[in-house]
A and B are shown apart, each in its own frame.
Chain A
Amino acid sequence: MLIPPGVRTRPRWALAIIEGAPARVVKLVVAGHGARGAVDPAGLSLPPTPAHLQACAKRLDVGAVIVLDAGVIAQVAAEVESHLTIDLDVAAQGLLLLRALKQRSGKGVWSDPPLLDLLPAPAFDPLQRTFDLLIPDDSALTAYVIDNDRARVAASVIAVKRGGDINEVASHAALGDAISEAALARDWTTAYKRVNRAVGERFARPCVSLFVERATVDKIIVGPPDTLGREMNARRLIIDPAPTWLLGLLGGATVAAVAQRGAMALANLLPQGARDRASDLADRARTAMKESGANPFAMLGFDPIELWLTLRHYYRPRR
């Protein structure tokens, strides 16, 4: 469900390997749906600038193009392996790899879309501390997505945090004997309370429990930032319990979205100077909020909400 529609409907992409100075393309392959395997290396023009990558994607009719220097895989493997220790968990391992790749972005690794440039690679400690701040130990996170016709549960996850780690994960199958899937899907806006009770009895006290219909998920993913709040108000999405930090974020997003819509409506009526002053004011307000410590993601060094606002571009239908 979280895969961008473009990838879902056209999961075809290209990989090019280049080497030498001046660089030449030694291999260009088209992978995925309707794969063609190795194709004429002339399909990619060098150097691998954004324009050349986009032209290659269009020429080969693929959703993404990745270009690697021939030696970069061995270099990244050696670098990551030199930093691994036996007590690192999966998240820490993934961050090591992401950092090694990001260091080579534009210097051995190129892609369209430029995901490596967009994705942050925070250090593991702040990530862990933020996780600890947001989700207390001995609590459960629950998420259910219900099919639009309310016939069944499309997806469900119950995750328990203990000792700083997610150490138990289950699906609704673990509660199926207590709450039938069909009954829950049919009346989920009230039956969710029984799910929370069962999670508390069998796993841990629920900390965040989210229940939503599938169509609403799609709407939230591509809609304006306050869609989440509006869908909650309309009871098409239920987050219960919801921690204070989450409610604060939702409130902030709603205020920002209302302000943005208002500003856009006024924009046509105001002179350019007034527009610039309003925009500057909005930026300063956002910065102040971030620096006040109220933002629960302050330790991360990046704002996941802003990251999402960037990434969701890839979820919108392509023209």
Chain B
Amino acid sequence: MPLFGAAMHYWRTPRALWRRALDELAGLGVTVVESYVPWSVHERAAGTYDWRGDRDLGAWLDEVHAAGLVAALRPGPHINAELTCFGFPDRIVRDPDIQARAAHGGPVWLPAPPRAFPVPSYASARFHDEVAGWFRAVGEVVAPRQWPDGPVVALQVDNEPQMFFRSGAFDHDYHPDALAAWRAASGDDDDAPRAWSPENAATCARWVRWKDEHLADALTRFGAALDRAGLDGLARFGNLPPGEPWFTDLPRLERAVGGPVGIDVYAGAGALAKVRRRALHLVGSTAHLPLVPELGCGFVPYAPPFSDDDQRAVTLALLAGGVRGFSFYMGVTRDRWMGGILDEEARPRPTARWVGRLLAALAELDWTALRRRTRVALVLSRADARHGLASSVLDPLPPIVGELMGLGAGGSAELARDPAAALHRRWFDAAARALDLAQVPYAIVDEGAGLDRFLAHDAIVVPTLHRVDRALWKRLGEAAAAKRVVVIGPQTPSFDEWGEPLGDDAALPRRAGFMRPGSVDDLAGLADDLAALAPVDDWYVERPAGILASVFADPAGVVRALFVTNPGERAVTARLVVPLATSLRDALGEEVLTEEQGVVAVAVTAGDVRMFRVFQKK
């Protein structure tokens, strides 16, 4: 079933409008409606829940079923939804046994308008007991409404798990239960590190990675609690907050959730290049459906607004990257939110026009069956990034602060005391830009992804300095043994992710190629080198440089869809080389373009993406 979803918060929409809203969404081509199920909205007192009136989740699900839709639910425990205290009941956030602990020993406050609140520790045994109680209450309402008896097909496990956005290396969590878990995992009786120490660099980096493991462990426990609540028959998924992929271990979280972990995207057209790169990482790394569980449609009132054009361009950029499922957030507008597909009276907003056209085009194309052809994998490895995060001069501030500062290709790693962190990011950025320049279709594969994700490509490019993740290094050896071309450099790594010599594992992958030391500042030269990794495609942009074409084919290899992306600040007319007898039909408009002597001229405004259906005469 295609996952083209939209969010509707039942408790924020008057019950009398539920059916109209659901029918409108279904009429636009939405297949899945999703909603949070917020703990604080339903809990009146510990163990007492209110499921009446607009809060009647069961009745809303019955309406979803009657409207011919299916439902995905997100019972938390973390909700956000712009709710005060992110949907945690007051008694939970006020409980000292539950509160996470900062390096300074006190609670960890998250400033989230209109209030700040102390976040819970995901290691706290007491917290997990409370969550299990909440999930039991949800299970009583939802279990009888699981597909096919009802509309519920999927559950999201928690929400944007990233230490509540406070992901600085030594910010938290120093809760006693977390420290006990750290000691058990590290086999070390010493306290966890609370600041960067170059003499203790390996332990600091291990602490950073342990926090990824800690989050994965919490998600596993939440999943088990959902199972015990009678919800074990539903598909599971997760989501990551907007941000760079360097700081989240997507493959590990997918294993913990037991399903796809997607990315949430709230961006304007000015960020198309970043959006595209996040999509390439998701598509290259997930073991499941590449999914965007929250695709911004509207915006929070206290953040910079996005226009309809922004949101359409970002949606198309994600699809151009290969995203195959998404859910618009919001489908129905509501308090603490501006915009959405429908207004608060469940009437279509102007946004509904392009959303309806897009969903119709995706359905006609059988979008989830199409794949982007990629021959090259660019590997995102985190050994240097972890040392960069641990040695950040802005700690305990999270890396997102450094990313927002706009520090160039090195991003927040420019703030690291460990110089390899920024240099590695610059090399990764150079390789990505060079592949774009050479018009080599590529995916970004996370170092933690399964071997099959590596072997799905003919060539694997891995920027390396002096350290590399030992497991990744072995995997590259396996890929080379399976006759894949492996390109590393500019340095040959001799240490593992903790700074230990690679020793017996140090052998280079067979027939490894190298990026030249000066290539980081010679994009054209690097592009020439990397172009040799893949044969010239039948489809490419002749000019101008910087315009990107993404081609999608069906299982038989027939090209069905084409995206042309202009991430620049000036409108262009791109000359696109296509096979003879090709015509393109704008998927969101009426324009039809036909090739002349193998070339199509495609006009694309600044910061925009165009999607075409492809027709080829035999």
Chain A positions near chain B (C-beta within 8 angstroms): 15, 17, 26-27, 29-33, 35-38, 70, 73-74, 77-78, 80-82, 84, 86-90, 93, 169, 171, 173
Contact = CB atoms under 8 A, between A and B. Distances in A.
Contacts of B109: 80-81, 84
Interface string B555-577: 00000000000000000000000
Interface in B193-235: 195
Contact of A169 (B171, B301, B396, B422): B301
B289 to A, nearest CB: 35
A84 B414 contact: no
Given A77-B396, A93-B111, A35 B104 contact: no
A26 B113 contact: no
28 contacts: A17-B393, A17-B394, A27-B417, A29-B407, A30-B407, A33-B406, A35-B405, A36-B408, A37-B407, A37-B409, A37-B410, A38-B414, A38-B415, A73-B397, A74-B396, A77-B104, A77-B171, A78-B102, A81-B102, A81-B106, A81-B108, A84-B116, A86-B90, A86-B94, A86-B115, A86-B116, A86-B118, A89-B114
Contacts of B115: 86-90
A88 B410 contact: no
A82 B422 CA distance: 34
B422 A81 contact: no
A81 B107 contact: yes
Nearest to B84: A86
Contact of A37 (B90, B171, B396, B414): B414
B117 interface: yes
Interface string B93-114: 1100000001110111101011
Contacts of B106: 78, 81-82
Contact of B408 (A26, A37, A86): A37
The 6 closest A-B CB pairs, nearest first, are: A37-B414, A78-B104, A35-B408, A31-B405, A17-B393, A37-B408
B393 A70 contact: yes
A74 B394 CA distance: 9
A70 B396 CA distance: 11
Nearest to B414: A37
Interface string B104-136: 101111010111111000000000000000000
A42 B525 CA distance: 32
A93 B116 contact: yes
Contacts of B94: 86
A26 B116 contact: no
Contacts of A38: 407, 410, 414-415, 422
Contacts of B63: none
A29 B195 CA distance: 21
B254 to A, nearest CB: 32
A129 B103 CA distance: 36
B389 to A, nearest CB: 15
Contact of A26 (B393, B397, B407): B393
B395 interface: yes
A31 B407 CA distance: 5
A62 B150 CA distance: 60
Contact of B113 (A30, A82, A90, A171): A90
A37 B109 CA distance: 30
Does more than half of chain A's interface fall in helix, strand or loop, or is it mixed? mixed
B409 A73 contact: no
Contacts of A37: 407-410, 414, 422
* Residue among B90, B108, B394 with most chain A CB within 10 A: B394
Given A31-B407, A90-B114, A173-B338, 6 more contacts: A26-B393, A38-B415, A38-B422, A70-B393, A74-B195, A77-B396
B343 to A, nearest CB: 10
Counting chain B residues whose Cβ lies within 8 A of the other chain, the interface size class is 35 or more
Contacts of B111: 90, 93
Nearest to B409: A37
A89 B116 CA distance: 7
Contacts of A74: 103-104, 195, 395-396
Given A37-B422, A81-B104, A86-B115, A32 B393 contact: no
Interface string B386-409: 000000011111000000011111
Contacts of B117: 86
B396 A35 contact: no
B116 A77 contact: no
Given A74-B104, A81-B108, A82-B106, A32 B417 contact: no
Contacts of B393: 17, 26-27, 70
A77 B396 CA distance: 8
Contacts of A77: 102, 104, 171, 396
Contacts of B113: 90
A86 B406 contact: no
A199 B84 CA distance: 27
A87 B94 CA distance: 11
Contacts of A87: 115
Contacts of A88: 115-116
A77 to B, nearest CB: 6
* Residue among B90, B171, B409, B415 with most chain A CB within 10 A: B415
Nearest to A166: B114
B345 to A, nearest CB: 11
A36 B409 CA distance: 9
A195 B328 CA distance: 33
B173 to A, nearest CB: 14
B393 to A, nearest CB: 4
A87 B116 CA distance: 8
A70 B104 CA distance: 16
A173 B395 CA distance: 41
B492 to A, nearest CB: 25
Contacts of B108: 81
A288 B89 CA distance: 52
A32 B415 contact: no
B334 to A, nearest CB: 14
B395 A73 contact: yes
A17 B109 CA distance: 25
A43 to B, nearest CB: 14
A90 B302 CA distance: 12
A80 to B, nearest CB: 8
A73 B392 CA distance: 12
A26 B410 CA distance: 17
Nearest to A33: B406
A38 B396 CA distance: 19
A77 B103 CA distance: 10
Contact of A73 (B114, B394, B408): B394
Contacts of A35: 405-408
Contacts of A31: 405-407
B324 to A, nearest CB: 33
Contacts of A36: 408
Contacts of B171: 77
A177 to B, nearest CB: 10
Contacts of A15: 405
B194 to A, nearest CB: 9
B554 to A, nearest CB: 42
A32 B406 contact: yes
Contacts of A78: 102, 104, 106
A27 B396 contact: no
A87 B84 CA distance: 11
A29 B403 CA distance: 13
A37 B393 CA distance: 13
Contacts of B114: 89-90
A104 to B, nearest CB: 16
Nearest to A11: B406
A37 B411 CA distance: 8
B422 to A, nearest CB: 6
Interface in B476-518: none
A184 B579 CA distance: 52
Contacts of B405: 15, 29, 31-32, 35
A29 B394 CA distance: 12
Contacts of B93: 86
A290 B386 CA distance: 56
* Residue among A26, A35, A169 with most chain B CB within 10 A: A35
